[in-house]
Amino acid sequence: MDLDWPGCPNARDVGGLKTADGRTIREGVLIRSESLQYLTPEGVEAVRRSPVSRILDLRGDREVAEAPTPFTGTPLAVRQALQDPADPEHGQPTIIEACTWMLDRRPELFAAAVKAIADEPEGAVVVHCHGGKDRTGMVVALALSIAGVPEDAIVADYFLTQARLAPWLERQLAAEPDVSLHPEMIEFRDTRAESLVAILRHLDEKYGGAEAYLRHGGLTTEDLDRLRSRLIA
């Protein structure tokens, strides 16, 4: 469900998605978005009027320092970067390789991000990175997988970002006169369904799936049960 948060066209509630056994993801519990730095003043007020109880910022220290959101440093916001400051730049040539590199290098940080969703006692948790596509997409996909949402529905939700961020990508391409750089820009800014499919296959083949990966990162049975209770109506 799209949210009317002016400045953040990619903000949406994943509530309403169905699990494989026919249950429903609750509305007003898990919201995904691009960085809230883009909110207009009206958008900030819309968030403040909403049932949001926690904002989970997945960006790194430098990103946050360069572009704080209106909620950075407030009790509402929690930082959970998915890379350690000591990690090198990923240096990977494709978005799939970059994402799987992050997953393999820091499973404990991805597990901590999912645990933050599970641990919030009430209200909605907003998960965001910069564009709200890859880091956000992986964390949301992991959470929805634990809740039992089928892969095709998880991938379809991820793919919704492509249309919402298409004007943003078009503006960035138009602002870059060196067209030789455009393929790389598209590679890391577009949101293709096959990218998430490949990332999920990696988790299946290397770890045995999303749940096994999160357990590898440190989540317990109690954490996973609490997440399901939070998400499933």
Coil/strand/helix, residue 232:
strand
State yes or no: pLDDT of 91 exceeds 80.
Answer: no
CA 213 vs CA 60, 83, 94, 207, 208: distances in Å: 22, 16, 22, 5, 7
The answer to whether position 140 is within a domain reads yes
The answer to whether position 198 is within a domain reads yes
The answer to whether position 79 is within a domain reads yes
The answer to whether position 222 is within a domain reads yes
The answer to whether position 70 is within a domain reads yes
Determine the structural domain holding residue 71 and report its residue range: 12-231
The answer to whether position 145 is within a domain reads yes
The answer to whether position 154 is within a domain reads yes
Residue type, 1: M
- Asked whether the CA dihedral 55, 203, 105, 225 is positive or negative, the reply is positive
Task: Indicate which CATH number applies to the domain containing 167.
Answer: 3.90.190.10
Percentage of the residues of the chain whose pLDDT score is greater than 70: 100
Q: How confident is the model at residue 90 (pLDDT cuts 50, 70, 90)?
A: low
What total number of domains does the chain contain?
Answer: 1
Burial of 76 (0-12, 13-18, 19+ CB in 10 A): middle
Most confident of the following: 93-97, 106-110, 167-171? 106-110
pLDDT tens figures, 2-52? 999 999 999 999 999 999 999 999 999 999 999 999 999 999 999 999 999
Candidate from 40-49, 86-95, 163-172 with smallest mean pLDDT? 86-95
- Active-site entry in 129, 142, 196, 231: 129
- Mean local confidence (pLDDT), 208-224: 98
Is residue 99 flagged as an active site residue? Answer: no
Position with higher pLDDT, 221 vs 183: 221
The answer to whether position 120 is within a domain reads yes
Position with higher pLDDT, 217 vs 87: 217
Mean pLDDT of the chain: 94
What span, in angstroms and rounded, lies between the C-alpha atoms of 206 and 43?
41
